[in-house]
Structure formats: C-alpha cells, structure tokens
Structure 1
C-alpha cells in the first residue's frame, strides 16, 4: 500500500489525534498497515477495520482530548494526553504509535480507567 503523501511518524501521530478530535478517521485510514495491531485498556484490534471501529467507538464517547506532550524518533511516537470520556474527569493517557514505511503497524495505549468506569 502506498500513501498519497509521505508523512513522518510524528505527523502521522498528530493526524491520529486530529482525526480523533474531529471524530472522522477518513484521513487516517490510508496510514494503517494491513496487519496493524492495537492494544489498549478496553480491548484489542487487528487490521484496519477493527482498528478504526475501536477508534470510532472511543471518539464517540470522548468529551475532551488535550495533548500535553509528544515525543518522536525515527519510528516511534509517544503522545501523552488528557482524555475526558462519559462525563468523567480527564484521565492521563500514554499512546505509543509505531510506524514502519509510512504506515502505523502498532499502537499501545495505557491509562487508569477507574474514573471512566465509575462514571458509567
């Protein structure tokens, strides 16, 4: 798969968050590898369809998303952000995005979900 525009891993991670905030992942889809994997607190996903379905579900419940810091190297990006969901207080989240050949191959996310679960 080739993309219309070559982006750096940092730019792809920025696009990921931008799409989440807009709740529209059309722009992100071309940057997902066919065998991309997601691992997070609320589940896992394999392949672009599951990956995007999971993100759409998270985005639908998102009240706020504020990026605090982003660190990147040649293939990996860590985005630290505060995520507000379901009326719960914002929760600190670490998102690790791994990019190979211009495509996201892995995303791992970690955070403490207790306040989000309590707000349900």
Structure 2
C-alpha cells in the first residue's frame, strides 16, 4: 500500500514534470484546494489551477516532509519564472483511500504577483 508521504512525493514530482495524468490519479474526485492564489473544488478545477501555476513553475525544492497515517506537510521553496525570489511554501495534504482529498497551501505571493505585472 502506498503511504501518504509517498503519494505526496508523487504529487510534487508529477506537478513539477507536468504529468497531469498521474496527478489526476492522485487526487480524489471531490478534492478541495485552498491556497494563497485561489480555491478549487473538484478534480477538474484543481487540475486547472495546477496547470496554471505549472506554467510559472521552474522547480520545487523540497526541504522537509512530515507525515502520519492521513496527513502530510511538505515544506519547500517554490521557484517560479519571471525573476521572483523562491517562495518558502507549506503544503498540507489530507489523504483518504490512497487519494488526496484536501490541500491547503500557504506562502507570501507578493513577489510572484509583482513579476506578473511586469
């Protein structure tokens, strides 16, 4: 059986490489996302948001991942195109029956947003 930590690792790898078929398989149909730049309800909205952010994504530098039987917190630097400094980011994912059901992400988006205005 795949652990929540392994699912989280697969999620970040798939997002970074643009493998949205794998991402779809990791997300529950009713996944709920709340983050600094938006909200999404359901797998289609969540994938659309991940695709949008993926267009700005250069890489993810994971520093730590802490997990238990259902929850994973990943601490990473979000590197984006456009010259913004890497954004220190915390991502909490809740896993049920092998799929991510809830995602909460927090980071300071000001520098990323400023690069979009240039």
Per the normalisation by structure 1, the TM-score is: 0.91
Normalized per residue, the structure richer in helix is 2
- 2:19 counterpart (24, 27, 33): 24
Q: What is the CA deviation profile of residues 53-106 of structure 1, one whole-angstrom value per residue up to 9, with x for unaligned ones?
A: 111111111122100110000000000010112320101000000001111110
Conservation of the 8 A alpha-carbon contact between 2:88 and 2:107: yes
Q: Name stretches of at least 5 consecutive residues in structure 2 with no aligned partner.
A: none
Among candidates 13, 31, 35, match of residue 30 of structure 2: 35
How far apart are residue 34 of structure 1 and its match? 1.6
Question: Which residue in the other structure is 2:84 paired with?
Answer: 88
* Distance in 2 (alpha carbons) for counterparts of 1:78 and 1:24: 21
RMSD: 1.0
TM-score normalised by L of structure 2: 0.92
Native 8 Å contact 2:15 2:23 kept in 1: no
Structure 1 unaligned segments of length 5 or more: list them.
1-5
- The structural deviation recorded for 1:31 is 2.1
